[in-house]
Structure 1
Amino acid sequence: MYFLVGKAVNRLSMILKISVLKIFVSQKNLVIPYTTKFRKRFNLEISQTGKLYIGENVFLNNDVSINALQDVKIGSNTMIGENVKIYDHDHKFDVHRGVYAKQGFTCEPVSIGENVWIGANCLILKGVNIGDNAVIAGGSVVVSDVPDNVVYFNKIEPKIRPLN
């Protein structure tokens, strides 16, 4: 059975014990099953055109943040660790077009498969598809697709390049 959210944003906050940053909901753009488990300080931002679909038996640990300007899907039986951030968009930035905050966004859907474990402090960025049964090691930054049945980890090496 699914919990389809219509008009009651305040009720959503109360039921899910979440901090709603900015949300425009209708029955078509937010689907959260009753079997979803949330810990403290879950943050959610959905734009008017954004969509969030969460499958059955998903667990979201403390301080998880999901930002859906276009489309984020999370498959059934997925576990998401503390402080994980999921974004389906990036800010546009062109040094020749003035203030970055006014340049808008580029969006691509994010899809997380079934039975996925995403460790603490991970960052999942736009356009990423994570396959079924994948494990994302803690602290990973996921910028490209992850196949089914793999462990994904990365070490971040600092890189500096000019803006032009």
Structure 2
Amino acid sequence: MFKKTSLRRKLKGLSIKLFCKRKKITITDTPSFSGAWPYISNKGVIRLGGQCSFRSFRLHQTITVQAEATLEIGEGSFFNDGVNICASQSIKIGRNAKIGDMTYVFDTDFHQLSPDRDVKKASVVIGNNVWVGANSMILAGSSIGDNSVIAAGSIVVGEIPPNCLAAGTPAKVIKSLNIPDGWLRQ
């Protein structure tokens, strides 16, 4: 029994490594895929830190990186069902980030609001040890500081400082958090 389980784990790890190679994803360690594997369209650069985890039992994650764009994900980050990420320029997600179900992270508006305005494209940064609640949206030009929490259903359209709880549409700081150095969310 132990040999079969160990062999299955090794084969799954090899399959994941081959998947990453085929999708031109740079990895420092084999990521973990539980359930369905994400749909990935990569025409740019994707870098995954060690021990990244993708869990998808109900809805696939979709990751799109357009030509000349970059998606960087720090070690130990977790992505739940239905997460949708689209990088047209640059999205950076820090270490140990937790991204909840049906969360959208886009660094572009995809289309013009009016003829006199260009399509908005602006980098997105999500810091270390950030928790983004389910059904949230992180939009072009947003920055979320280390250790912050974005409440479920929020829409981030600007800067959220470190060590705070933000909620709403658009997300606003509603509480400061006392996070000791080195503490990580489970």
TM-score by length of 2: 0.68
For residue 32 of structure 1, the aligned residue among 44, 48, 61 is: 48
Answering whether residue 109 of structure 2 is matched by residue 109 of structure 1, we say no
Match in the other structure for 1:92:
112
| Paired residue total | 141
Match in the other structure for 1:46:
65
* Runs of 4+ displaced beyond 4 Å: none
Q: Measured at CA, do residues 44 and 104 of structure 1 come closer, stay the same or move farther in structure 2, by a change above 3 Å? A: farther
Task: Supply the AA of the counterpart residue of 1:83.
Answer: M
Secondary structure of 1:49's aligned partner: coil
Q: CA deviation at 1:11?
A: 9.0
Where do residues 4-153 of structure 1 align in structure 2 (5 Å cutoff)?
8-9=22-23, 16=33, 17-20=37-40, 22-25=41-44, 29-40=45-56, 41-90=60-109, 91-94=111-114, 96=115, 105-153=119-167
Q: Structure 2 CA distance, aligned partners of 1:10 and 1:150?
A: 35
Q: Structure 1 CA distance, aligned partners of 2:25 and 2:48?
A: 14
Task: Supply the AA of the counterpart residue of 1:75.
Answer: G
Identity of aligned residues (%): 33
Q: CA deviation at 1:49?
A: 1.2
Structure 1: gaps (5+ residues)? 98-102, 157-164
Name the Cα RMSD after superposition: 2.6
Q: With CA pairs under 8 Å and 6+ residues apart, which has the higher RCO, 1 or 2?
A: 1
Q: Report the structure number with the largest CA radius of gyration.
A: 2
TM-score by length of 1: 0.77
Secondary structure of 1:53's aligned partner: strand
Q: Structure 2 CA distance, aligned partners of 1:131 and 1:11?
A: 26
